[in-house]
Structure 1
Amino acid sequence: MTTAFDQVTVGRYTARNRIVMAPMTRSRANGLDGTATDLMATYYAQRAGAGLIITEGTQPSALGQGYADTPGLHTPEQIAAWQKVTAAVHEGGGLIFAQLMHVGRIGHPDQTGHHPVGVSPVAAAGTIHTKDGPRELPTPLPLDEDGIRATIVDFAAAARNAIEAGFDGVELHGANGYLAHQFLATNTNLREDGWGGDVAGRIRFTVEVASAMADAIGADRVGVRISPANPYNDIVEEGHRDTYLALVDALNPLGLAYLHLSETTDPEFTPILRARWRSTLILNPATPDGYTGPDALGLVDSGATDLVSYAALFISNPDLPERLRAGGPFTPPDYSKAFGGDHTGYTDYPTLAETR
């Protein structure tokens, strides 16, 4: 029987186990220029025991940033800074993919210095934290044809930059209400041109970005993350099953490294997508009453997924695969220190050996 501690093929690579560190924004990058820091290198190296690390959301362009102190992959300085991180992870025997995330309408000029762009002029409900306090999310400027094409080029360039920075591959963030998800969703994509209007139009951006990144660095170094029917960031997806079945059918011929499925409100859809997807599947299971725990390993045992991704427990358990194999104990995360700050609540969580 296959277990979560067995090796597995992920694109062109062999992962040491089937336990994935999910992407998590931690806002510890250099806020002045979006460069990764030495502290980030320590943080990711501590977690190199994962079969695969997927980094925090990393903007492919300055226009793609929405949150404070998040890293980028669009300048020479950012490439050089990330090289310290990837070298540290590789020294620990790990694999690391960069998650490329354009936030789209989820941003504010007080935070980034630019007005957010989006698919259609539809503001998200809610606020975003800025240096001057919470601000209502503004109505985004809709991307025109040239803007969409430029954004696709930015993603492809960021993928090439990621390889130069030493990453093993990249993941397109098509989930959680950010730009690619905004193209997929029926309440944010009100376009009537070729980038909207019907299912084929709404999936087009995600497919073209994935294709451009695959052309840039090889399809077997590219993954895509999706979260069907996820309401986060004020998303509504009417007929989401039709949308994502069409998306999977369009992505399958590209030969991508993996599909990273984040379950939210429709976990019954997962086995349908599992059957439809031809390549490696990473599953972040729905955990409405807490965070993903050791019982999720059984999803690999049962064949429901090829790999399972963990977020919260990787914050506070740098050696999570070892702890999962041992059956615990697990250190709970301190969410008051999840975003920003110094090493506390970031690199100072003990390993299993240090707790004994």
Structure 2
Amino acid sequence: MRFLVTGVAGFIGSQISKALLEEGHSVLGLDNLNAYYDVTYKQERLHQLERLPEFEFRKLDISDHDRLLALPERDSIDRVIHLAAQAGVRYSLENPFAYAASNMTGHLAVLEFCRRAAKAPMLVYASSSSVYGDDAVAPFKEDANVDRPVSLYAATKRADELMSQAYAKLYDLQQIGVRFFTVYGPWGRPDMAYWSFTDRILRGETIRVFNGGKMKRDFTYIDDAIAGLKAIATGEPHFADGERTHLLYNIGHNQPVQLMDFIRTIEKATGKTARIALEPMQPGDVTETCADISKMQADYGYDPKVSLEEGIGKFVDWFKTQRVASGPSRRYM
């Protein structure tokens, strides 16, 4: 199949593209290469993809709907994997309009792209565990009430789901939304806690731990997340007989970890003890995430295999290699 992948230079976007290319599919990747975090990571992910046959790249901001709709490849796309978004809960407090442009206008542009294509491709798009807020009962099921977001980021992701539901009904578009739960691993995002904690622990610097450490997260290793996403993107959708509609799935691990246990796992992997500053709860944060993955298991045989200890170990090994390669000032010896 021929895939369009938005956010192709991102963490999940680059990894799903690699998995698809290695299976013989072709990928047209889009990314605006913004500077939310160090662009060199995005460029290196792209370099890895460009070594593979059947990959093409276009630098394009999906919120520029005129350019997106004018892509000459539009009518040759079989399926769209839409991952481009402005990420990060806390950054939404500082730059809210970036979220409106990328997450909402951008998502709408992708919906229009699919609707106007000669053969409307199935759309698989990224939502987030953030939509569950702080009211859902763990483990979070896809049919939980998610109408009380606690951050703008979560609100934009929920808005995406609602727009997709509307387009599914209005234009008979096949769509599947994926609610990711804290995906981590090598080549991840530098703004995420596991990355910054590892960096600071290795440097001997203090890490900030919010809500006094009384938080739990459902961590999903990148290989498990990609296995689930690829199953959805390449498989047949589990819509009701004769109906083209809109579905939602959780991709998580269903094993939430206490924040202090998470820090101890990084300490073990790095061989260093964390210096910790306990701080109050931050606006937009939630106290717990936990994915109910029974729907993914039933429909796609989803079976996350990588434990937190194994996954953090792999990340720390990669992280040390990357930092040593980047210069003496970054060495952790």
Assess same fold via TM > 0.5: no
Higher helix share: 2
- What's the TM-score, normalizing by structure 1? 0.36
State the TM-score, normalizing by the size of structure 2.
0.37
